[in-house]
Amino acid sequence: MTQLDIDLFVKILKQCYKKLKAPIVTLIANRGATPFEILVSTLLSLRTKDQVTSVAASRLFEIARTPQEILELDAETLEQLIYPVGFYHTKARRLISISRIIIDDYNGTVPDSIDELLKLPGVGRKTANLVLTEGFKKRAICVDTHVHRISNRIGYVDTKTPEKTEFALRDKLPPKHWIKYNELLVAFGQSICKPVSPLCSQCPVSDICPKIGVTRSR
């Protein structure tokens, strides 16, 4: 099988990006969100639809946009503000814990290294990397279900888990693509390269994609 030209793949996705459904955290970042707001938005988005995340984040940020302001809210009020995001009870308490740690251990500023971000409760590699790319514009590779699925579907990596995909991409993906890779593939995955029965007839990269694992498409 011919190796996919990743530079061409990324170039084509960039060209059609405006027609795709941009991920919610990117939209929030493009509105001038702070690293803390990116962190909060990313945590809210976990296991939650983008539309729900957008409404919940907007409602929360009208009341509290900083760790200090989060700590001025009790857990019940915070739950009401972020409802109905998935696991809102847990996320409300987690936001309070994270806000306290950021104030006590980081002088009120979100850390800008993956090792420090991973120390925050509930922050995994996906969240930490997204905060680095969207909050700090630092080179990192955020791998969610879309990035994992599509990177394997196009034959660029051969991995079984998102974490293994991240490290495979760190070894292989040109650094110039790191920051944009998640944004492009999430938008592409939400709009065209869906998990089941992807829209291959509408896909701008169909001609260069080996469609690994695709048994049914539209």
123 found inside a domain: yes
Q: Who's near 34: CB < 8 A, 6+ residues apart?
A: 65, 110, 135
SS (H, E, C) 137-152: CCCCCCCCHHHHHHHH
Last residue of a domain, one of 110, 136, 162: 136
**pLDDT, tens only, 7-33:** 999 999 999 999 998 999 999 999 999
Q: What burial class does residue 2 get, using C-beta atoms within 10 Å of its C-beta: 0-12 exposed, 13-18 middle, 19+ buried?
A: exposed
Q: Is 211 marked active-site?
A: no
* 192 and 164 housed in the same domain: yes
Catalytic site residue from 49, 144, 171, 211? 144
* 46 and 100 housed in the same domain: yes
pTM value is 0.93
* 42 and 114 housed in the same domain: yes
Confidence of residue 2 (pLDDT cuts 50, 70, 90): low
Last residue of a domain, one of 90, 112, 136: 136
Catalytic site residue from 104, 115, 126, 171? 126
Confidence of residue 3 (pLDDT cuts 50, 70, 90): confident
* 125 and 29 housed in the same domain: yes
Domain residues for the domain of 183 are 6-20+141-208
1 found inside a domain: no
* 41 and 66 housed in the same domain: yes
CA angle centred on 158, ends 152 and 164, rounded to 5°:
95
Domain total of the chain: 2
Q: What is the CATH number of the domain that holds 79?
A: 1.10.340.30
pLDDT confidence of residue 47: 93
213 found inside a domain: no
Last residue of a domain, one of 103, 136, 169: 136
What is the share, in percent, of the chain residues with pLDDT greater than 90? 98
Q: Is 14 marked active-site?
A: no
- Tell how far CA 79 is from the center of its chain: 22
Residue 74: CB atoms within 10 A of its CB come to 10
Q: What is the CATH number of the domain that holds 151?
A: 1.10.1670.10
* 157 and 96 housed in the same domain: no
**pLDDT, tens only, 22-62:** 999 999 999 999 999 999 999 999 999 999 999 999 999 99
* 155 and 167 housed in the same domain: yes
